[in-house]
A and B are shown apart, each in its own frame.
Chain A
Amino acid sequence: MNYQQARWASKECLEPLVFELGKAGRRGATLPPKIPAGVKIPESLIRKELELPELSEPEIVRHYTRLSQMNYGVDSGFYPLGSCTMKYNPKISEELAALETAACIHPYQAEETVQGALELMYKLERHLAEIAGVARVCLHPSAGAHGEFLGMLLARAYHKSKGKERTEVVVPDSAHGTNFASAAMAGYNVVVVPSNARGRVDIEALRKAVSKRTAALMLTNPNTLGLFEDEILEIAEIVHGVGGLLYYDGANLNGILGKTRPGDMGFDIVHFNLHKTFATPHGGGGPGAGPVGVTRKLEKFLPMPVVEFDPKRKRYRLDYDRPQSVGKIKGFYGNFGVLVKAYAYIMQMGAQGLREVTEAAVLNANYIMRKLLDVEGYEIKFDQSGPCKHEVVFSAEPMKNKWGVKAHFVAKRLLDFGMHSPTYYFPPIVPEALMIEPTETEPKEELDRFIAALKEIADEAKTNPEKLLGAPTATAIGRLDETKASREPILSWRAYKKRVAHA
C-alpha cells in the first residue's frame, strides 16, 4: 500500500485559518433576531461586537473537511504510540453518548429525572472497582494527571488523619513525567529511584529511598518499559513497612485486564485512564477521564459527591455527606460523556472480552518484539529473555552508531508509510527509544506492514540515509523545524497576528 496525504495549500501557506476565510456579512448559522423576552443577560456580559469569522455553511464544512484530510487519527491507520494505548474507539460508544438522554441532560436536574445517568455512573464505578480490586472509585478526575493529583491528595489526607507528617513521594526514574509533577503539586518532595539492569525498580535503591517521611510510591505496572514489575509484592512490603501507601498509575492497565489486579498486588490507590484502556477518544487536550479507586481505608477521603444506591426507595442519589472528603476536584461529576463511552465499552466487552483484550494486546506486542529483534538496527536494552507485556521499547542506537540515523528519523520516515510513529525518546533511560504499543485492535496484516516498514527504514538507513533525512515527504506537512518550533512557539491567533505584523 502506498501513502499520500492530502495537502491543501495556497502559495503562502497551508489551509488558511478560519479567521482568514470568508467575507464580511456571510453567515453560517441562523440566529434569532433578538434575545427572547424574559431572558436576562447581565449587562457586563453583553458584547457590542463579535470578532467572529464570517463564512457560509459550505465554506465552513469544506474548511474543516480539508483540515481533517490533513490530520491523522486512529481512524486513519496504525497508531502505535507507546504508553497511550491508541486502540480503536467503537462507534457504538459515540452513538450512545450522543443520545439525547445522555447528551442533553443537565447536572443540576432533579435526581429523579436522571436516574439512568446516575445508574450508569454507579455501575461504571462498580465495574472499575472489580477490574482493579479496590473498594470504591471516584469518577471525577477529567484527565490522567488530574487523577494522579487526586491520588496524591488522598495520600495526604490519609497521613494527616493518622497524625503523621509525611513529606516525600518516591517515583521510579522511568515514570511518566506527570507523576513527578503531580506529587510536587500536592506539596511533596520527590525522590527518584533508578531502574536496574532488568528494567525494573532497583529494590536496593528503594530500600534506601523510603523512610518514615515516605507518603507514597507511585508505580506503573507493567512499567513504562513494557515489563512487569515481578518484585511488586516485595516492593509493596517495603513501602507498607514504613507506613507508606502504594499508588498505581493506570497507564498500562491494558496489559493486565482480567489477569491480575492492582488491588491484589498491594496497591492502595489505583488510577485509570478511560481514554486509554477503555477506548474513549484520545487526543491531546481531552476530554478524558482519570478515575481513581481506593481500598476501604481510604474510602472516606474520596471527593464528593459519591453516587449511592438507596435500596429502600430503589433510587440512585448523590451523597454529599462526606465530612472527611478531600473536597471537590471537578465541576459536577466528571466528564459524563466520556463515562458513557467507557461504560458502553465495558458492557460490549464483558469480563471475558476484557481478558481477551489484554491477551491480544500482549500477543501483538510480543509478535512485534520477536520479529523486530531479527532486524538489524534495532535492539532491546533491557530484559529480552522473557516476554514483554502490551508494549515494547526498542532502541535505535545500533542504527545511530552504524549509520548515523537516530530514532526520530525512523519515526518521521514511518509517516510516509501511512503510519503514526511510536513514542520516541521515552522512557529516558533507553537511548534512542522507540516505544511501540500496537494494542489489541490491530489485525495481523497491519502488524506485518509495520514490521516491514521498520525493516525497510533500517535498510534505507544502511544504504541511503539521505532519504531518511528528508522524511516525511508524503504527508501534508513535511519536515518541521522543531528547534524553532520549541524556541518560538506561536500558540494563538493573536500571537500569530503579532508575529506577522512584525515580519
Chain B
Amino acid sequence: MKGTDGTGVVEKALELGAKPVSPGRAVDALRVLKRLKLEFELITYPAEMGADEAREAGIEGRTIGKIVSKKTTAEDTKQAARGMLAEGVELILFAGGDGTAIDLIDAVGTRVPLLGVPTGVKMHSAVFANTPEAAGEVAARFLREGLPLREAEVMDIDEEAYRQNRLSAKLKGFAKVPYEPAMVQATKEASTGYELADQKAIARWVFELMEKGRIYVLGPGTTTRAVAEELGIYDSTLLGVDLIKNYKLVAKDVNEEQILQAVGGKLATIIVSPIGRQGFILGRGNQQISPEVVMEVGKENILVIAAPQKLSSTPTLKVDTGDTKLDEVFRGYIKVITGYRQSRMVKII
C-alpha cells in the first residue's frame, strides 16, 4: 500500500471493461470523488479504458499500460489489473459487467479490493454498488477512512443459455469488496458490523443446531465455509457443494447424483446462502442442489444462512430451481439465520 501517512494521500485505480460500456456512469462515479474532495492518486489505463473518463470527470490521473484503442480485449483488462496491483493500488474501481469482474479476479484474485460501478450490462455478481454515485461514495470512504472488506460472489452467466432465454449461472469465484459497516450495524441486530465476525456467529449457532447422524449438504459461499471452519474443516470447497456428517467432511464438490445417493431416504439438511446480486438461494451457482434433491430432503429441512451485510445489499431473495412448481412453494417469507441465535424473516420473490 503506497501513500503518505498523515497527509491523506491514497491511491485508487480506475479501469473500464474490455468491451465498450457506458462511460457516463464511470464518469458519474468519479465526479463523486471529486465532489467529496478526496485526496488520492488516480492510476488509469489509456483512452476508453479509464483515461478519457478521468479527464471528463476533471481528475488528474497517471496513465499506465498500452492498448489499441477501440480494439480492447479481456486480456487488456487482466493486464491493467496486474499493472495496477504492481503499482500498489488500494482499490480497483471498475465499470463493466460480470465479464469484467471475472477477468479481474482471474488476474488478481482477492489480492486487491475491487468495486464495480453498475453500468447497465447484466450484473449478477455481488461486487457492484447500487448506483454509480454509491460506488463513488464507498470508494471515497474506503480510501479516506478504511472500510471492512467482504467476499462477494462473481458470477458467470452461460451466454448460450442466456440467448436461449434460459438463465444459468455459475459461481466463478469471489472478489474482495469494501462495504459500510455503519449502515449494516444500524440494523441493530446482533451484527458486529464486520461480515467475517457475523459469519462466525452464524456458524457457531448452526454448529449447535447440528445433529449427529444427519447428513448436511453445504452449498457454496463464504458463509457456508465459515460453518465448515467452525467444525474444524478447512478444506471445504468454496465454489462447490460439500457433504458433512457427524461434524466431518465426507465428500467434496459433489454433483447432483452423489448428493441424491447420500441423502436418499436419510435425515438430511441443506444449508445454503444467497448467491450473487439478486440473492438466489437455489438455482444460481448451486445447481447441484437440484429440484430432485430439494424434494428428497424436504423444504422444511432447508436452512438459509446470510450475514446482515449480505442481506443489506440483497434484501429480498430468489429461487430458480428450474421447476416452477417447486419455486412457487418457496415464495413468501422464510427464516434466514443472521447471527448467533438470531434470524430474520426475508421474502423470497
Contacts and interface: CB of A to CB of B under 8 A. Distances in A.
Q: Do A and B bind each other?
A: yes
B295 interface: no
Contacts of A206: 345
A194 B343 CA distance: 11
A426 B334 CA distance: 25
A173 B188 CA distance: 8
Given A404-B35, A425-B186, A428-B188, A189 B347 contact: no
B343 A191 contact: yes
A184 B338 CA distance: 14
Q: What is the size category of the interface that chain B forms with chain A?
A: 20 to 34
A209 B335 CA distance: 7
Given A205-B347, A209-B345, A404-B35, A192 B334 contact: no
Max chain A Cβ within 10 angstroms of own Cβ: one of B189, B334, B338: B189
A193 B345 contact: yes
A204 interface: yes
B333 A209 contact: yes
A175 to B, nearest CB: 7
Nearest to B315: A194
Contacts of A175: 188
A77 B344 CA distance: 40
B206 to A, nearest CB: 13
Contact of A192 (B145, B186, B343): B343
A190 interface: yes
Interface in A84-137: none
A180 interface: yes
B252 interface: no
A428 B345 contact: no
A503 to B, nearest CB: 15
Interface string A170-193: 000101110011001000111111
A483 interface: yes
Max chain A Cβ within 10 angstroms of own Cβ: one of B133, B335, B341, B345: B345
A192 B338 contact: yes
Interface string B306-348: 0000000000000000000000000011110010011111110
A208 interface: yes
Contact of B332 (A173, A189, A191, A208): A208
A193 B334 CA distance: 10
Interface string B8-47: 0000000000000000000000001001100000000000
Contacts of A190: 189-190, 341-343
Given A177-B188, A194-B347, A428-B188, A184 B341 contact: yes
A426 B333 CA distance: 25
B27 to A, nearest CB: 16
Contact of A191 (B32, B36, B345, B347): B345
A205 B333 contact: yes
B73 interface: no
Given A205-B345, A208-B334, 12 more contacts: A177-B188, A180-B188, A180-B190, A189-B342, A190-B190, A190-B341, A191-B335, A191-B345, A193-B345, A194-B346, A194-B347, A205-B333
Interface of B: 32, 35-36, 133, 145, 183, 186-190, 332-335, 338, 341-347
20 contacts: A176-B188, A180-B342, A184-B190, A189-B343, A190-B343, A191-B342, A191-B343, A191-B345, A192-B338, A193-B345, A194-B345, A194-B346, A194-B347, A205-B333, A205-B347, A208-B332, A208-B333, A404-B32, A404-B35, A428-B186
